[in-house]
Amino acid sequence: MTGIPKPKKKYDVKRPTRDEFALEELANQLNEAKSESAEVLLTVWGMELPVRGRIENMDSRTGKVHIQKDGQTTKVTFMDIMKVENHRD
């Protein structure tokens, strides 16, 4: 007699935590890029490819950063942004 195998536990991969200093530095980089209308390359947790474009809006109500590239707007959750780089063609 064989028993029914127990379902394996699923562990969600959690976003890395960052301290207040790291989050503040990230916010400063985003603000600077927005004020300079600079194109940025964002490494976003949970996305395979980086997000590239100019910061159109930073919505404090929803916690999303709006990135525009070629007329398309991508909304990225601030807490999911792992890294901000200035991008030059």
The domain that holds 33 is classified in CATH as: 2.30.30.100
Amino acid at 60: S
The DSSP call for residue 36 is: T
What pLDDT, in 10s, does the model give residues 32-88? 999 999 999 999 999 999 999 999 999 999 999 999 999 999 999 999 999 999 876
The structural domain count of the chain equals 1
Q: Is residue 68 part of a domain?
A: yes
Choose among 86, 25, 74: nearest CA to 49.
74
Q: Is residue 8 part of a domain?
A: no
Residue 17 pLDDT class (50, 70, 90 cuts): confident
CB 35 within 8 A of CB 25: no
Handedness of CA 15, 18, 22, 28 (dihedral sign): positive
Record the pTM: 0.80
Residue of 16 and 71 predicted with greater confidence: 71
